[in-house]
Amino acid sequence: MPDDDNITKEKTIYQVSPWEIFWRNFLAGMARALGGVILYALVLTILSNIFLRFFWPQIEPLVDTLNTSTEILKNFQSIAPGERI
Q: Note the pLDDT tens digit of each residue in 23-78.
A: 999 999 999 999 999 999 999 999 999 999 999 899 999 999 999 999 988 887 77
pLDDT at 65: 95
Residue 13 CB contacts under 8 Å (≥ 6 apart), including other chains: 5, 6, 7, 21
pLDDT at 10: 74
Largest CA distance in the chain: 90
pTM score of the predicted model:
0.55
Residue 6 CB contacts under 8 Å (≥ 6 apart), including other chains: 12, 13
pLDDT at 72: 87
- Domain residue limits, the chain: 1-78
